[in-house]
Amino acid sequence: MNFFSVISDIIRGKGRTLLTIGSIAVGIFAVMIISAIGKIGTGMINRSLDEMGINSVLVESGYNVTLSDDDVTALKKVDGISKAMPLMASVTTCELVAEDVVCMAWGVSNNADEIISLRALHGRLISETDIRNSERVCVVDKEIALQTYGRENITGKTISINVGGKYESFQIIGVATSGLSGVQSAINEVVPYFVYLPYTTVQNISGRTDYDKIALLTRGAEDSAVIDRISDCMAKRKGTDNILVNNLLNQRSTLNGILSVATSALGIVAAISLVVASMSVMTAMLVSVAERKREIGIKKSLGAKNSRIVGEFLAESVIISVAGSLVGIAAAMVLTAVICIAIGELPVLEWDKALLSLTVSLVIGMLSGGYPALKAARMKPVDALKG
């Protein structure tokens, strides 16, 4: 088989070749871009859920049941739990620069940065000393700072927050952003701002000794058995099953499952385009056989073996398929990189999918070119020369 002869034959029908390469490229591009978007989406969802504490378990008190420090201590000892945090939450109002705004007041502990990924942009976060001394301090989100002062850094300012039915003054020690921003975006029209207070301060002002919830961080995000251990622990402590244990891990699995199904469904649609593309390769090769009947007849009359004829047409179909695959892979990677840069994600380079696509293109080339190649090889020289 003469390689240069194969390339010459491909170039000769350049219009048909380009269309065939394009059809293969579109199919490969669709498969790769859908896979990449699915991977990017899964990563973004998991990171968002991690930051929002949805890689954790939320324990809530039921009717006539309260949660206390002892419950936090007991839950920390449950096998599979790495961290525990009392959590209090209420929708309230606050006053800053003579402006009343609706906000969500979160009573948190000093390890809130680990549970809800609270990150200080300016100043500092709530400390263990603040918790121990029930300090009148708070951390506000950057949105409330921008709304009231027109700038992010408002540390040192005083804010009045309605806690327990009356306004209390707090010193702003930090401006932060947190994993709860996803929640904030979802309820932005109702509760646009977040404020974080020491939970002990909230308790003292409101005259409470209990908590609304306890947030637990698990060691193994997929350890479903830990939910049963948490439920058993609380049932023994409270003597009742009237404790709500929200397995937020299941929500993660459900969301990932939905995304996986959606990606797979779209992938199947994209794979169908590859099947259509393989048909176009076969059609192109059959047309090529019809156009080159006289050439095939001359080669066979000069002693060319059937294996050489088959080899040339197979090589032609494989080269076209691989070329289309490379174009599709390159286009998918470029678009994926652009998408990642646009949304601030690290580029996703799925080399395994690229290798699989190349393999698929080889198979498509061989299968699609097989029948036309055999048809060409089986031609009788006399019949071929008549064409």
pLDDT digits (tens, 9 = 90+) for 42-94: 666 666 555 555 456 778 877 777 888 888 889 888 888 888 888 888 888 88
Per-residue pLDDT reduced to its tens digit, 309-349: 777 777 777 788 788 888 888 888 888 888 878 777 777 66
Retrieve residue 358's tokens: 């190349």
Residue 192 has pLDDT above 80, yes or no: no
| HEC sequence for 58-119 | EEEECCCCCECHHHHHHHHCCCCEEEEEEEEEEEEEEEECCEEEEEEEEEECCCHHHHCCCE
CA distance linking residue 300 with residue 297, whole number of Å: 5
Residue 211 to residue 69: CA distance in whole angstroms? 9
Question: Does the structure show a pLDDT above 90 at 266?
Answer: no
Three-state SS string over 114-151 comes to: HHCCCEEEEECCCCHHHHHHCCCEEEEEHHHHHHHHCC
pLDDT computed for residue 231 by the predictor: 83
Which pTM was predicted? 0.54
φ/ψ of residue 357, rounded to 5: -65, -40
Residue 181 confidence (pLDDT): 47
Q: What is the pLDDT of residues 164-181, one digit of tens each?
A: 888 999 999 999 886 554
* DSSP bridge pairs for 56: 217
Task: Provide the percentage of residues in the chain whose pLDDT is more than 90.
Answer: 12
Q: How many whole angstroms separate alpha carbon 251 and alpha carbon 266?
A: 23
- Asked whether residue 376 carries a pLDDT value surpassing 70, the answer given is no
Q: Where are the domains of the chain?
A: 3-47+254-386, 66-241
Helices 306-343 and 3-12 cross at an angle (nearest 10°) of 70
Q: How confident is the model at residue 184 (pLDDT cuts 50, 70, 90)?
A: very low
